[in-house]
Amino acid sequence: MIPLIVALPLLTAFLIYLALPIGLRRIVKPLFLAGIFSPWFIFLILVGKSHLSEVVGGWSRVSGIEVAFDFYNVYFILAELILFSLVSLYSITYFKHRSVEKVYVLMLLMHAGLLGAFVSRDLFNYYIYMEIASVSSFALTGLSEEKGAKGAAFKYLIFSLLASYFFVFSIGLIYLKTGYLNLKLIGENFTPSRELNAALGIAFTSLLLKAGIFPLHFWLPDAHSKAPTPISALLSGIVVKAPLYGMLMLALTFPLDEFLKKALLLIAFSSMFFGIAMALLQMDAKKLLAYHTVSQLGYILLGIATLNFYGAIYHAFAHALFKGGLFLSVGTLINAQKTKNLKELTYRHDKILMMSILMLSLAIGGISPFIGAFSKKQLLNGLVGCELFYLAGIGTLVSFAKLNYYLLTPGKAERSDSLQRAVSTTLAFITLGFGIYFLPELSLKNDSLNILAALILFYVLKKMGLFRIKMKAKFGKLGREINFYSAVFALLLLLFLLKLF
């Protein structure tokens, strides 16, 4: 039953390509929507049952491919299904060019790849499905007509492939030392060794690059900001969760070395603050949101580094909802007003989108009763260094105070697409609904103090002229940029190896 959640999107992608040569273009859109929504039926059948796992084809666990459906992946799958379902509806009015069938097929392949990665309990199978999703992501990013999109897609491709090569090498080392690819069998039979420590160092470094976490974030801001709006929502909302899910599975299987945990903790906090700092300097609305993805991924990594797996899972779920909603809501304004410049964008004329963006801004800032408040509360369990955590929350609110300040500026604008507005608003209310479900209480005092502190800090930074600082590209050519950042990846990898081997 579990493999069907992956097979159905793959089947419909294949049927769309069969339909085109024989002139059945009219059934392409229904097939696309069927492929997106059909996994819901499998999910709803499985969700009422306890921990489930099966080996595809009835093989033994040693030689077969195990898939599972349990607490560790149910919220990843649910987030994927919610976001993909709403983005597919959004895409119907967004993509209007002649090659829309290619977009639908690539989105279905991404859909299947992500679901396959999330249900996998086999390292190689996980890698294969993550690559299916990644290849679809490169192609969909490159389909954007925006200037620089092709370069952003190429950079995304190069660094993702670099990460993939090293990750599959780490899988080989693990197989060499344990004789298994199945995570349960590896956990039951491995013996701690320097080689396994090195393999884990390589795997985590590769997945950090794949996810776009600072200091290996360099491909993410351009790719996520220059991709078409529905794809930006998927990339930031759920695609970057696949490598984080891999880290979670490794941390659940192996006892992590103390150095590795401390290094991941340092990287997590660094990513949180770096993303906020860079977002504050952006006047490109989508790039501001992209840098907040770098920041929010730090929160999820924080949960993994402190072995607070529940916190990591819940925040991954929460981030998928509010970040997907933010990209779709702001993207709807951009689609109508034909600009990403915050000085030219406005939602003053559109009360529905104003409400949606304000709700989602509060959600990402961790304000109750939205889901971000619950997930951040979970991350605080057992955390040492709560002051930094709270400071990052205020920094996030400052950045979104900036976003909403500029969007409140009066201006003339075309009315946004009704379906796109409806989808964006739906995600805003979903973040509210899950927030009330998980944490049906208000933290009025703490939330009021955090919002007040953020507004005061925003006013001070604005008076200091921080938001007038213009960011300039440091590299003249794409090749130089790729070489430089490849060296950064190599240095971090070398550091991990020297400490762990």
pLDDT at 140 over 70: yes
Over residues 73-88, the mean pLDDT reads 95
- Provide CB contacts within 8 A for 302, sequence distance 6+: 265, 268, 269, 272, 308, 311, 312, 379, 383, 389
What is the DSSP code (8-state) at residue 369? Answer: T
pLDDT at 273 over 80: yes
pLDDT number for residue 333: 92
Distances (CA, A) of 317 to 10, 176, 220, 287: 24, 34, 20, 22
pLDDT number for residue 316: 96
pLDDT at 289 over 80: yes
Q: How confident is the model at residue 51 (pLDDT cuts 50, 70, 90)?
A: confident
Mean pLDDT of the chain: 91
Contact 304, 323 (CB under 8 A): no
What do you get for the CA distance between the two ends of the chain, in Å?
Answer: 41
> Above pLDDT 70, what percent of the chain?
98
pLDDT number for residue 189: 87
Q: How far apart are CA 485 and CA 479, in angstroms?
A: 10
Other beta carbons within 10 angstroms of residue 291's beta carbon come to 26
pLDDT number for residue 61: 84
> Above pLDDT 90, what percent of the chain?
68
pLDDT at 495 over 70: yes
Question: What's the CA dihedral at 466, 461, 222, 169 to 10 degrees?
Answer: 110
* Residue 377 buriedness (CB in 10 A; 0-12 / 13-18 / 19+): middle
Q: What are phi and psi of 349, to 5 degrees?
A: -85, -10
pTM listed for this prediction: 0.94
Of 50-54, 95-99, 367-371, 463-467, the least confident: 95-99
- Provide CB contacts within 8 A for 188, sequence distance 6+: none
Q: Could you tell me which of 265, 242, 84, 77 has the C-alpha nearest to residue 164? A: 242
Over the stretch 420-476, which tens digit does the pLDDT of each residue have?
Answer: 999 999 999 999 999 999 988 888 888 899 999 999 999 999 888 888 887 766 666
pLDDT number for residue 104: 92
Contact 396, 276 (CB under 8 A): yes
Of 4-18, 74-88, 316-330, the least confident: 4-18
Q: How far apart are CA 415 and CA 332, in angstroms?
A: 10
Contact 115, 356 (CB under 8 A): no
Q: How confident is the model at residue 501 (pLDDT cuts 50, 70, 90)?
A: low
Over residues 322-342, the mean pLDDT reads 92
Q: How far apart are CA 248 and CA 305, in angstroms?
A: 9
Higher pLDDT, 245 or 101: 245
Over residues 122-135, the mean pLDDT reads 94
Q: How far apart are CA 90 and CA 210, in angstroms?
A: 26
Q: What are phi and psi of 54, to 5 degrees?
A: -150, 155
pLDDT number for residue 473: 64
Q: Give residue 19's identity as a one-letter amino acid code.
A: A
- Please, what is the Cα angle at 388 between 385 and 393, to 5 degrees? 130
Q: How confident is the model at residue 98 (pLDDT cuts 50, 70, 90)?
A: low
pLDDT at 246 over 80: yes
pLDDT number for residue 190: 86
pLDDT number for residue 320: 96
pLDDT number for residue 457: 93
Over residues 97-113, the mean pLDDT reads 88
Counting every residue, how long is the chain? Answer: 501
Over the stretch 335-392, which tens digit does the pLDDT of each residue have?
Answer: 988 889 998 898 988 899 999 999 999 999 999 999 999 999 999 987 877 889 999 9
Q: How confident is the model at residue 59 (pLDDT cuts 50, 70, 90)?
A: confident
